[in-house]
Amino acid sequence: MGEKVDLLLHSAGELITVAGGSAQPRRGRAMSEIGMIRDGAVAVREGRIVAVGATREVRQRVETGRDTVEIDARGKVVLPGLVDPHTHLVFAGSREYELEMKIAGAGYLEILARGGGILDTVRATRAAGYEQLKETARGYLREMLAQGTTTAEVKSGYGLDTETELKTLRVAAELGRSQPVELVPTFLGAHAVPPEYRDNPQAYVDLVVEEMLPAVARAGLARFCDVFCEAGVFSPEQTRHILGAARRLGLELKLHADEIEPLGGAELAAELGATSADHLVQISEPGIRALAASRTVAVLLPATTFCLMGTRYAPARRMIEQGVAVALASDFNPGSSPVNSLPLVMGIACRQLKMQPAEVVTAVTINAAHAIGQAHRLGSLEPGKQADLVVFDAPSYQYVMYRLGGQLVDTVVKAGRVVWRRRGREAC
């Protein structure tokens, strides 16, 4: 008799394991190797996967009892729990009025320069209480879970003063302990220059380096430090200065790079050994080569380009062909991407980035886990990993991306526990 298991998912039409990419992010052709098992099963004990394979084999290897939870995934698709490696989850207010401005032709940096955009959300977030921020973010997380996200990176960056940045990160820490979606926190104090430093942006950089970063590191509230390296926001020199200080304090690095203007952010991320470089709509050929030769994961955010009504998307095909490890994320935020559904991002990635469905699966699972330093424990279905999985009511994995905007998630399991189940489809 095999070992006794707590949870057995069996009979999956397609079980997509994405196994075998935990040491290195997947690149090039390997991004299409997603390890499909038909009539597949996953057995779980104490939150970890103990067996993966064909249902008959797994049933022979493990023992079930009366208290084993069984999930019959007949006719359904099972993926590793989706990982969203770039969100700005904690904020107050909303900016639906920007929709009208954008339709009328206003640019993103133009709205920011007029004191709107990020700075509007900063005003609302500073004014909001801790509980309000927490409950708002909890609501968004519930939506994310219902769309299959089991882990998300969360950035601060709508405080832009020490007190509110710390408040934001504390909200993320508390939410990470009190609802199912696992959260990985990032300090993004250098998201914009706040109005009180408008005439002296360098003094704000000094505040980030001398006061905010040490306070965040001391409190152990962030794993990563990120900077919005962009024309009119933070220059490559300022970015280098901030990220250097972060690294000395033991934080790992991320970078909002080459989103609107090509400033060499990709090259800088590779040079600094950043864990990820994100956006990359305007990445140059040398930037692509630099990322391909590095361990830095490129996190692409096509929902942002879509919401900004951009005509140019990140050159994903070129990046994959050149050997860049590509991940995908929602960039969920109140301005440039009020989208927190990874299945929607996946559908846009197929159509606008021309990524194949198998590459997209890799990009929201194992490569996304690499982008937040969690690939040793998340992002694939293989023995030893945490049992995070999502069951889609779909006949094939391609169908998940094909049904843009569909609500296909049937069941979500986090660390071996069923944390979300779809209710019946009947009208009430």
**Which of these, 161, 171, 162, 84, lies nearest to 136 by C-alpha position?**
171
- DSSP-assigned beta bridge partners for residue 70: 8
254 binds ligand NIG (CB under 6 A): no
- Contact pick of 140, 204, 228, 313 for ligand NIG (by CB under 6 A): 228
**In the bound complex, what is the minimum distance in angstroms from residue 124's beta carbon to ligand NIG?**
11
| Choice between 333 and 340, CB closer to ligand NIG | 333
**In the bound complex, what is the minimum distance in angstroms from residue 372's beta carbon to ligand NIG?**
15
Q: Which residue type, as a one-letter code, is found at position 169?
A: L
| Choice between 164 and 411, CB closer to ligand NIG | 164
334 binds ligand NIG (CB under 6 A): yes
* Residues whose CB falls within 8 Å of the CB of residue 99, separated by 6 or more in sequence, listed in order: none
- Contact pick of 165, 331, 393, 410 for ligand NIG (by CB under 6 A): 331
84 — phi, psi (to 5°)?
Answer: -105, 100
H or E segment and range at residue 139: helix 130-146
Site for ligand NIG in 120-149 (CB under 6 A): 121
Residue 27 gets which letter from DSSP? Answer: -
In whole angstroms, how far apart are CA 67 and each of 5, 7, 46?
A: 9, 9, 13
Q: How far apart are CA 410 and CA 391, in angstroms?
A: 5
| Choice between 331 and 388, CB closer to Fe ion | 331
Q: How far apart are CA 313 and CA 320, in angstroms?
A: 14
Total residues at the site for ligand NIG (CB under 6 A)?
14
Picked from Fe ion, ligand NIG, none, the partner binding residue 168 (CB below 5 to 8 A depending on kind) is none
Binding window for Fe ion (CB under 5 A); candidates: 69-77, 143-151, 331-339, 415-423:
331-339
Residue that has been written with the tokens 């194992």 in this structure: 366
| Choice between 167 and 191, CB closer to ligand NIG | 191
**In the bound complex, what is the minimum distance in angstroms from residue 230's beta carbon to ligand NIG?**
7
335 binds ligand NIG (CB under 6 A): yes
Picked from Fe ion, ligand NIG, none, the partner binding residue 363 (CB below 5 to 8 A depending on kind) is none
239 binds ligand NIG (CB under 6 A): no
Binding window for ligand NIG (CB under 6 A); candidates: 17-25, 58-66, 173-181, 329-337:
329-337
Q: Which residue type, as a one-letter code, is found at position 227?
A: V
223 binds ligand NIG (CB under 6 A): no
**Which of these, 49, 56, 55, lies nearest to 15 by C-alpha position?**
55
**Which of these, 43, 32, 34, 33, lies nearest to 10 by C-alpha position?**
43
117 binds ligand NIG (CB under 6 A): yes
Binding window for Fe ion (CB under 5 A); candidates: 49-57, 75-83, 146-154, 323-331:
323-331
304 binds ligand NIG (CB under 6 A): yes
84 binds Fe ion (CB under 5 A): no
**C-alpha triplet 416, 419, 422: angle, nearest 5°:** 125
Q: How far apart are CA 258 and CA 349, in angstroms?
A: 18
| Choice between 171 and 394, CB closer to ligand NIG | 171
Picked from ligand NIG, Fe ion, none, the partner binding residue 294 (CB below 5 to 8 A depending on kind) is none
118 binds ligand NIG (CB under 6 A): yes
**Which of these, 353, 352, 271, 351, lies nearest to 320 by C-alpha position?**
353
258 binds ligand NIG (CB under 6 A): no
- Contact pick of 6, 120, 331, 382 for Fe ion (by CB under 5 A): 331
Picked from ligand NIG, Fe ion, none, the partner binding residue 359 (CB below 5 to 8 A depending on kind) is none
DSSP H stretches of helix in 293-392? 302-307, 316-321, 342-352, 357-363, 366-371
The pairing of strands 48-54 and 62-63 is unpaired
Cβ neighbours of 351 (radius 10 Å): 13
258 binds Fe ion (CB under 5 A): no
Residue 386 gets which letter from DSSP? Answer: B
382 binds Fe ion (CB under 5 A): no
Assign 225 to helix, strand or coil.
strand
333 binds ligand NIG (CB under 6 A): yes
11: left (phi over 0), alpha (psi -120 to 50) or beta: left
Binding site for Fe ion (CB under 5 A): 331
Binding site for ligand NIG (CB under 6 A): 88, 117-118, 121, 228, 256, 259, 304, 331, 333-337
